[in-house]
């Protein structure tokens, strides 16, 4: 009788625990722990900047530049983004929840940023999360007593995330940011439509089944189920109505950028729309191009003023004249042959098929080789699924830009920043061109704005994600592993090439502004005027000016009409060398648990010594003057290279273009001395051995995959038009 009673008690306890852990629930926004930094601390911190500025401007007779350079991150996700939630599931071996409040504490005390924005995917932001996050924005914006010396500014916003299946219907990703929560739409606007269900997050439900093999973390997987159910339960808004007439708690969507711009106009609030991840081919169809977006449907020159050219997904600056898929004059597709610099994946699929031809006739083998090539072309971003059982090493370095700096994975060159500057749309009465300011940010998905201050903790500070052990490893068993398969082409139909992609992820970039002060108004004004530049992570100082436009100095990001040979001046200083650990202000402001959870033992902790700037590279782009003018001839990279003297005070360069005879844009890269960087080298092939730095257990979880590389800063272009 006693044993039966004991058994019943055990069953009751187990049932109670199962009930508790199986009931999914919401993730709260959290509570900000660290207080604002004092104005005195900010003043002392800024003195280092003014010292460097004085050294660089000591040759100037009239120091007219009164701007302060501030650093930020305009691309930050929290657990409110479904993909961020999934990346932090227990089977990934990372940390778990990263809520909105953590972003505030990380920005202040880990990264020591001056500003950032929230950009969770609108497609998965519930009405409650939208409101809760903006309360955190308000709380985080409570700064010290002096507005012009505020320690941190936070802008509200979201990401509009659209993925198409063809170059024609793929619009890409855009961040939408606003100045403050008092002038903000009541709902974020996404790209998920009624017929697509959860859209790009459809396959996420597969991850929830892990709770049956990971019962100790049952609750965490159930929380994801709760989030997916809640997102699906939100009714779609009536898109035929004006956005102001819609109820607050419906899900609003825009199927194209033009619809997004229209809805923002209906609200009437000042905003900035920032395209990003343009060259990242993990989801982008082959041959996608800026050409299809330089029109009223895809572009709004008053809103789309900035372009994120570097993020944790890599650098999208450089144009290369290659294509993963060729297009015949009649519009049919073909697989191009490899060159010394580029290996198309369709070609490599054919080589992989040849190795699987044992026992087949020559005719059957040749037929399968062509089929493998064709399937790879049709599969687009999901070509790795043509041979789903193949190890990623077998695909070698196909579809990669092997000579680009920190390139994005499966590079799409016609989506690069240089290509954007080179094209002109002649179909409109007033020929249209892109005139972006260049920025960089992280696209961090763990509520960690500004992760690039140090190169450490690869699996926390980058997208290098994957299961923590073979126990969770997904196994695919094809009916015939020696016969190619045709994967689905919709996002969510097939698994992307995550293992090779993990070799192309980085702590991310950072955006810098030339602002009149630290006030929110002045930071916003600098963004709107495109007085901005981006770096690959380190906080280099950079000035770039046109100096012979009468009495007026023309800053980076501006456009002027000019008929004489332009003269430019560049000033640059390297980033501070970092001391290990965290400064006392961080240690004193956050609890040891919070500091360890967010910063992982390392903070922005500058010494007084700067890295050297090795050289200044000038890029000149002359946009098309007639239909069909060949793009590769219009991009001169580099147009000019000037070596810098080894001087810790920085580098100053002047140059002139005596051949200025047509509309031209100029921008500069400041190249810093070599330092170790996560994934500084991507996929390497040495003596026939392919090395890939994977995000899963297949590469040591403690390996940061460091290689020496020249970090850099990119100025915004100066646009010159001939009269």
On whether residue 441 sits in a domain, the answer given is yes
Whether 550 maps to a domain, the answer reads yes
CA distance 558 to 530: 7
pLDDT in tens, 120-151: 999 999 999 999 999 999 999 988 777 788 99
pLDDT digits (tens, 9 = 90+) for 586-620: 999 999 999 999 999 999 999 999 999 999 999 99
Which burial class, exposed, middle or buried, applies to 102 when counting CB atoms under 10 A from its CB (0-12, 13-18, 19+)? Answer: buried
Which pLDDT does position 550 carry in this prediction?
Answer: 87
674-681: average pLDDT: 97
Whether residue 539 is contained in a domain is answered as yes
Please check whether residue 341 lies inside any domain of the structure. Answer: no
pLDDT in tens, 616-660: 999 999 999 999 999 999 999 999 999 999 988 899 999 999 999
What span, in angstroms and rounded, lies between the C-alpha atoms of 112 and 365? 59
| Predicted confidence (pLDDT) per residue in 262-305, tens digit | 999 999 999 999 999 999 998 899 999 999 999 999 999 999 99
Angle at Cα 193 formed by Cα 188 and Cα 196, nearest 5°? 130
What confidence tier does 61 reach under pLDDT thresholds 50, 70, 90? low
| For range 411-428, the mean pLDDT | 96
Q: How many domains does the chain have?
A: 1
pLDDT of residue 694: 94
Q: Identify the burial level of 474 via C-beta atoms within 10 angstroms of its C-beta, where 0-12 means exposed, 13-18 middle and 19 or more buried.
A: exposed
Q: Note whether residue 594 is domain-resident.
A: yes
* Inter-residue contact 523 to 531 (CB < 8 Å): no
Give the pLDDT band (50/70/90) at residue 64.
low
Cα–Cα distance measured from residue 295 to residue 433, given in angstroms and rounded to the nearest whole number:
9
What is the reported pLDDT for 63? 54
224 has which bridge partners?
none
CB 466 within 8 A of CB 700: no
Q: Count CB atoms within 10 A of the CB of residue 292.
A: 18
Model pTM score? 0.94
Residue 60 maps to which CATH number? 3.20.20.140
Does 150 reside within a domain? yes
3-state secondary structure of 333: strand
Longest dimension (CA), the chain: 102
> What is the arithmetic mean of pLDDT over 466-495?
84
Give the integer Cα–Cα distance in Å for 704 and 350.
Answer: 33
Residue whose C-alpha is closest to residue 159's, from 77, 73, 254: 77
User: Has residue 18 got a pLDDT over 90?
Assistant: no
**Does residue 20 belong to any structural domain of this protein?**
no
Q: How far is CA 602 from the centre of its chain?
A: 22
Q: Say what the pLDDT of residue 688 is.
A: 85
Strands 153-155 and 541-549: unpaired
Q: Do 612 and 644 form a contact (C-beta atoms < 8 A)? A: yes
> What was the pLDDT predicted at 597?
96
Domain of residue 171 covers: 39-322+401-464+505-721
Planar angle of CA 225, 228, 234, nearest 5 degrees: 140
**Token match 């995550």: residue?**
498
116 found inside a domain: yes
pLDDT score of 71 more than 60: yes
Query: What whole-number distance in Å separates Cα of residue 232 and Cα of residue 230?
Result: 5
């Amino acid at each position: 009788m006693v044993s039966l009673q004991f058994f019943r008690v055990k069953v009751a306890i187990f049932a109670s625990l199962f009930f508790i852990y199986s009931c999914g629930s919401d993730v709260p926004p959290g509570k900000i722990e660290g207080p604002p930094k004092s104005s005195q601390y900010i003043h002392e911190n800024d003195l280092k900047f003014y010292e460097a500025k004085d050294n660089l401007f000591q040759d100037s007779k009239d120091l007219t530049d009164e701007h302060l350079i501030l650093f930020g991150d305009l691309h930050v996700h929290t657990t409110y983004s479904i993909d961020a939630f999934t990346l932090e599931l227990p089977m990934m071996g990372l940390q778990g929840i990263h809520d909105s409040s953590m972003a505030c504490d990380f920005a202040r005390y880990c990264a020591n940023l001056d500003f950032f924005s929230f950009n969770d995917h609108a497609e998965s932001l519930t009405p409650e999360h939208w409101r809760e996050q903006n309360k955190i924005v308000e709380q985080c914006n409570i700064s010290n007593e002096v507005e012009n010396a505020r320690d941190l500014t936070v802008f509200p916003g979201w990401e509009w995330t659209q993925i198409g299946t063809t170059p024609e219907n793929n619009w890409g990703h855009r961040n939408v940011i606003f100045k403050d929560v008092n002038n903000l739409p009541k709902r974020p606007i996404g790209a998920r439509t009624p017929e697509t269900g959860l859209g790009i997050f459809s396959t996420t439900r597969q991850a929830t089944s892990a709770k049956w093999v990971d019962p100790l973390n049952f609750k965490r997987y159930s929380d994801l189920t709760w989030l997916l159910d809640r997102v699906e339960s939100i009714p779609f808004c009536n898109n035929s109505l004006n956005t102001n007439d819609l109820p607050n708690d419906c899900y609003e969507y825009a199927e194209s950028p033009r619809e997004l711009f229209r809805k923002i106009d209906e609200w009437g609030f000042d905003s900035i729309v920032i395209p990003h991840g343009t060259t990242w081919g993990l989801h982008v169809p082959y041959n996608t191009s800026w050409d299809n977006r330089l029109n009223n449907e895809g572009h709004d020159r008053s809103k789309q003023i900035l372009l994120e050219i570097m993020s944790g997904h890599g650098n999208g600056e450089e144009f290369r004249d290659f294509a993963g898929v060729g297009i015949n004059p009649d519009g049919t597709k073909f697989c191009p042959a490899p060159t010394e610099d580029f290996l198309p994946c369709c070609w490599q699929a054919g080589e992989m098929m040849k190795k699987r031809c044992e026992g087949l006739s020559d005719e059957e083998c040749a037929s399968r080789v062509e089929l493998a090539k064709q399937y790879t072309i049709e599969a687009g971003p999901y070509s790795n699924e043509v041979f789903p059982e193949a190890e990623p090493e077998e695909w070698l370095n196909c579809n990669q830009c092997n000579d680009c700096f920190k390139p994005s994975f499966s590079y799409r060159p016609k989506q690069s920043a240089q290509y954007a500057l080179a094209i002109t749309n002649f179909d409109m009465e007033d020929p249209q061109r892109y005139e972006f300011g260049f920025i960089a940010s992280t696209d961090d998905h763990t509520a960690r704005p500004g992760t690039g201050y140090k190169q450490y903790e690869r699996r926390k500070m980058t997208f290098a994600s994957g299961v923590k052990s073979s126990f969770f490893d997904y196994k695919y068993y094809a009916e015939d592993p020696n016969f190619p398969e045709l994967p689905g082409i919709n996002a969510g139909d097939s698994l992307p090439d995550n293992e090779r992609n993990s070799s192309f992820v980085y702590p991310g970039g950072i955006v810098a502004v030339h602002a009149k002060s630290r006030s929110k108004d002045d930071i916003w004004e600098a963004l709107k005027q495109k007085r901005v530049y981006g770096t690959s992570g380190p906080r280099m100082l950079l000035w770039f000016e046109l100096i012979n436009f009468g009495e007026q100095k023309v800053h980076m990001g501006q456009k002027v009409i000019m008929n004489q040979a332009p003269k430019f001046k560049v000033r640059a200083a390297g980033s501070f060398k970092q001391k290990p650990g965290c400064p006392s202000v961080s240690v004193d402001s956050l609890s040891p648990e919070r500091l360890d959870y967010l910063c992982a033992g390392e903070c922005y902790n500058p010494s007084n010594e700067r890295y050297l700037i090795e050289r200044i590279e000038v890029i000149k782009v002359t946009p098309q003057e007639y239909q069909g003018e060949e793009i590769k001839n219009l991009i001169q990279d580099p147009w000019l290279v000037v070596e810098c003297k080894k001087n810790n005070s920085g580098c100053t360069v002047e140059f002139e273009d005596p051949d200025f005879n047509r509309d031209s844009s100029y921008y500069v890269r400041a190249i810093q001395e070599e330092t170790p960087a996560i994934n500084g080298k991507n996929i390497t092939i040495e003596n026939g051995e392919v090395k890939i730095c994977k995000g899963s257990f297949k590469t040591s979880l403690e390996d940061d995959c460091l290689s020496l590389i020249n970090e850099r800063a990119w100025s915004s272009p100066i646009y010159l038009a001939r009269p």
